[in-house]
């Protein structure tokens, strides 16, 4: 087995509730001392290897987005270690970071800059982004007139020009038409040797014929792992059935 692109060991995270901390502790301390804490992640262990596509399935509130935010460095973990070998790019919503008053082309510069690209790289990639997005007719129109699916297309098209060792896609392909989603997934499969993928979703159909390994996240821990789609889905369905009506 090659070295992991991402290695997480015994990771935990809790949140204290705003309003429950002592005033000076709230304003000056980074430690959590409140009695009421929400713990979205408990003892998470995960390794992602080069060329792998991992699917993480979890019901709403299971800790999926918190995990993504910790891996990408937006949140800080309370305990545990994260080792990343290379560049990680996370996509939560393909439409985020866009400005509706700017044109599609202007938004390409803005969003790509958020992904760390410079002007020269964006200029070189511009035609390919427009081609992949299939938005040639609209690219110089304000983004305000785009549908949510069109914005998602533009978002993913920009992503195709970002060089990363690991992409984390958190429910980002939930919008847009089925054909375009398939195009995005095919792109990720074709490029998995360059960029491993963690695909996070609560819709298990998105993982069929796509993920090499599926992990089920429930109540902040990985409860189940399988390389077989059907076995993982059966377990996930039992979790869903346990939910109150």
**Cα separations in angstroms, 243 against 57, 59, 192, 203, 236:** 15, 10, 35, 16, 11
Closest CA to 187 of 201, 173, 203: 173
# chain residues binding other proteins, by CB under 8 A: 33
| Binding characters for other proteins, 114-153, by CB under 8 A (x = yes) | xxxxxx----------------------------------
Q: How far apart are CA 188 and CA 196, in angstroms?
A: 8
User: Phi/psi class of residue 227: alpha, beta or left (left: φ > 0; alpha: ψ in -120 to 50)?
Assistant: alpha
Q: According to the binding rule CB under 8 A, does residue 23 interact with other proteins?
A: yes
Sequence-distant (6+) residues with CB within 8 A of 205 are none
Q: According to the binding rule CB under 8 A, does residue 76 interact with other proteins?
A: yes
Nearest distance from residue 180's CB to other proteins, in Å?
Answer: 20
Confirm if 58 and 216 have CB atoms less than 8 A apart: yes
Nearest distance from residue 93's CB to other proteins, in Å?
Answer: 6
Query: Where does this chain touch other proteins (CB under 8 A) — which range of 56-64, 103-111, 178-186, 220-228?
Result: 103-111
Site residues for other proteins, 43-72, by CB under 8 A, read 69, 72
Sequence-distant (6+) residues with CB within 8 A of 51 are 2, 192, 193, 196
The distance from CA 66 to its chain's CA centroid, rounded to whole angstroms, is: 10
Nearest distance from residue 138's CB to other proteins, in Å?
Answer: 18
Q: According to the binding rule CB under 8 A, does residue 79 interact with other proteins?
A: no
Q: According to the binding rule CB under 8 A, does residue 90 interact with other proteins?
A: yes
Q: How far apart are CA 114 and CA 92, in angstroms?
A: 13
Closer residue to other proteins, CB minimum distance, 162 or 233? 162
Nearest distance from residue 67's CB to other proteins, in Å?
Answer: 14
Sequence-distant (6+) residues with CB within 8 A of 161 are 112, 117, 121, 122, 125, 128, 129
**Cα separations in angstroms, 102 against 60, 123, 127, 158:** 33, 17, 18, 16
| Binding characters for other proteins, 157-196, by CB under 8 A (x = yes) | ----------------------------------------
Closer residue to other proteins, CB minimum distance, 31 or 178? 31
Q: According to the binding rule CB under 8 A, does residue 92 interact with other proteins?
A: yes
Write out the residues near other proteins by the rule CB under 8 A: 15, 17-18, 23, 26-28, 30, 69, 72-76, 88, 90, 92-93, 96-97, 99, 101-102, 106, 109-110, 113-119
């Amino acid at each position: 087995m090659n070295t992991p692109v991402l290695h997480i060991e015994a990771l935990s995270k809790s949140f204290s509730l705003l309003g429950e901390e002592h005033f000076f502790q709230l304003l000056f301390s980074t430690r959590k001392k409140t009695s009421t804490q929400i713990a979205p992640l408990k003892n998470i262990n995960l390794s992602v290897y080069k060329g792998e596509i991992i699917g993480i399935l979890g019901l709403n509130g299971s800790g999926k987005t918190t995990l993504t935010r910790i891996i990408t460095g937006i949140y800080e973990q309370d305990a545990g270690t994260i080792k990343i070998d290379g560049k990680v790019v996370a996509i939560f919503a393909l439409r985020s970071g866009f400005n509706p008053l700017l044109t599609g082309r202007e938004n390409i510069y803005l969003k790509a800059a958020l992904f760390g690209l410079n002007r020269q790289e964006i200029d070189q990639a511009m035609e390919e982004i427009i081609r992949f997005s299939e938005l040639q007719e609209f690219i110089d129109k304000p983004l305000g007139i785009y549908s949510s699916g069109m914005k998602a297309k533009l978002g993913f098209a920009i992503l195709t020009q970002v060089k990363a060792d690991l992409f984390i896609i958190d429910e980002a392909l939930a919008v847009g038409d089925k054909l375009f989603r398939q195009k995005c997934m095919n792109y990720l499969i074709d490029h998995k040797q360059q960029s491993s993928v963690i695909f996070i979703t609560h819709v298990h159909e998105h993982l069929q014929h796509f993920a090499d390994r599926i992990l089920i996240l429930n109540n902040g821990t990985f409860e189940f792992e399988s390389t077989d789609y059907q076995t993982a889905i059966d377990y996930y369905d039992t979790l869903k059935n346990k939910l109150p009506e």
